[in-house]
């Protein structure tokens, strides 16, 4: 028995036949194809298959094998039917879009957008030293030197780039996930992997995978975690609502709200109990004006500040910011014996300094240095029976 010509077999599946039966070697074996008399990887030669012909009776091996490839009659055993024509992982033809070849895997010369060539090393490792080799394969399997690896984090304007030039920086986002930095606490870009982004930046904190201001989630911080080219919430730190002057860069797992941010309520405000001046989750918890503080208008919890009463009440109390007006929170009565400029009103609006006159039947005992809103007027021991009016203190 003699072997069938290269890559062929009989219809019965035999690869060895009698010398007189070489003409029965009419089928291409699985993962072999007939290229019209041309060599592997060349344009189809367009010559019909002829069994036992030195040029037209042989089948050439696929560069990249096809799972499920079967035997086929020579004239029907084309590249597309017998072989995988899919470009190696992450690569495309020169147009940067088409990822199937019609002759040779060597046509797959570019890394697709959001894929890069890492010198033969896997995604996220330090670049290897192997030169990009378009379509390189051995034993029907694409070589790592012909493959581009997916970006961990995609880049909106990532181009298709020739393999040799398609590095991490040109193809991918190498910006650390939101709010994170490298271990030095300063650098915002990584050179190999997003997993190097291990710390929350100053004035950013990790909230267990929950958004800013919510109760902390239960997910563990995972530096650089990503799915489908997008940073996962477990790899991101959220911005503080209120910054802290000495906020540090802190390892994600330890970078909680209290270590990274100011949790002090805005001036004059407190949480619901009206006493606690720090919040646990969000500054919006700071909804109360504390005792002896007021806010005239619609208080924006976490941003608005309550103002200190010009004159405190004897028994002050806290109140919700939207109802904690000066009239309800503060003492607005003029000092004894004084009135407003209208000569009759004894309650001021904004400040006790509005109490500028001694009321009728009262006088200023000070001849100089009288302070409106602080000093009092003394009741006359003998009063006019008629015609008494309020008198300007400074007269």
Percent of the chain with pLDDT over 90: 90
Does residue 395 have a pLDDT over 60?
Answer: no
Show the DSSP H helices in the chain as ranges: 79-82, 168-171, 257-260, 326-329
Please report, for the chain, the start and end positions of each structural domain, with discontinuous segments joined by +: 1-84, 90-174, 175-262, 263-331, 333-395
Burial 85-124 (b: 16+ CB within 10 A, else e): bebbbbbbbeebeebebebbbebbbbbbbbbbbbbbbebb
Beta strands in 93-241 (DSSP E): 110-111, 115-116, 137-138, 141-142, 149-150, 161-162, 180-181, 199-200, 204-205, 226-227, 230-231, 238-239
- Coil, strand, or helix at residue 347? strand
Q: What are the structure tokens assigned to 283, written together?
A: 């500054």
Alpha-carbon span 76 to 16, nearest angstrom? 22
Q: What is the pTM of this model?
A: 0.79
pLDDT reported for residue 393: 63
62-71, 78-87, 304-313: the lowest-pLDDT one = 304-313
Q: What are the structure tokens assigned to 118, written together?
A: 């890492």
Show the DSSP H helices in 270-334 as ranges: 326-329
Does residue 223 have a pLDDT over 60?
Answer: yes
The owner of tokens 């400040």 is 351
As a whole number, mean pLDDT of residues 212-237 equals 96
pLDDT tens track for 194-221 = 999 999 999 999 999 999 999 999 999 9
CB 206 within 8 A of CB 256: yes
Alpha-carbon span 282 to 273, nearest angstrom? 15
* Torsion angle defined by CA atoms of residues 65, 67, 68 and 72, in that order, rounded to the nearest 10 degrees: -20
315 Cβ contact list (under 8 Å, min separation 6)? none
Give the model's confidence band at 384: pLDDT under 50 very low, under 70 low, under 90 confident, else very high: confident
As a whole number, mean pLDDT of residues 41-65 equals 96
């Amino acid at each position: 028995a003699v072997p069938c010509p290269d890559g062929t077999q009989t219809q019965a599946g035999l690869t060895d036949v009698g010398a007189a039966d070489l003409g029965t070697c009419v089928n291409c074996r699985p993962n072999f194809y007939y290229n019209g008399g041309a060599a592997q990887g060349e344009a189809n030669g367009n010559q019909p298959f002829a069994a036992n012909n030195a040029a037209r009776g042989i089948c050439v091996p696929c560069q990249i094998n096809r799972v499920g490839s079967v035997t086929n009659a020579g004239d029907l055993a084309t590249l597309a039917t017998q072989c995988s024509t899919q470009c190696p992982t992450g690569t495309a033809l020169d147009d940067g879009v088409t990822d199937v070849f019609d002759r040779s895997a060597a046509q797959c010369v570019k890394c697709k957008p959001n894929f890069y060539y890492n010198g033969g090393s896997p995604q996220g490792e330090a670049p290897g030293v192997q030169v990009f080799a378009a379509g390189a394969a051995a034993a029907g399997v694409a070589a790592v030197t012909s493959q581009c690896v997916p970006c961990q984090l995609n880049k909106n304007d990532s181009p298709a780039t020739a393999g040799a030039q398609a590095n991490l920086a040109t193809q991918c986002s190498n910006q650390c996930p939101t709010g994170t930095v490298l271990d030095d606490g300063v650098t915002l870009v990584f050179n190999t992997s997003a997993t190097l982004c291990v710390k929350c930046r100053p004035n950013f904190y990790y909230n267990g995978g929950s958004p800013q201001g919510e109760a902390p989630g239960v997910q563990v911080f995972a530096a650089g975690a990503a799915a489908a080219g997008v940073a996962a919430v477990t790899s991101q730190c959220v911005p503080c609502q209120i910054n802290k002057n000495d906020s540090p860069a802190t390892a994600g797992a330890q970078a909680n709200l209290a270590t990274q941010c100011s949790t002090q309520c805005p001036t004059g405000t407190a949480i619901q109990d009206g006493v606690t001046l720090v919040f646990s989750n969000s500054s919006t918890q700071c909804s109360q004006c504390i005792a002896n503080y007021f806010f005239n208008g619609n208080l924006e919890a976490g941003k608005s500040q309550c103002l200190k009463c010009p004159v405190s009440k004897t028994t002050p109390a806290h109140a919700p910011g939207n109802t904690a007006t000066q009239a309800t929170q503060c003492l607005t009565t003029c000092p004894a014996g004084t009135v407003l400029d209208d000569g009759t009103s004894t309650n001021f609006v904004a400040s006790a300094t509005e109490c500028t006159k001694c009321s009728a039947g009262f006088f200023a005992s000070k001849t100089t240095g009288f302070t409106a809103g602080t000093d009092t007027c003394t009741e006359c021991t003998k009063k006019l029976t008629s015609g008494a009016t309020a008198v300007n203190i400074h007269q």
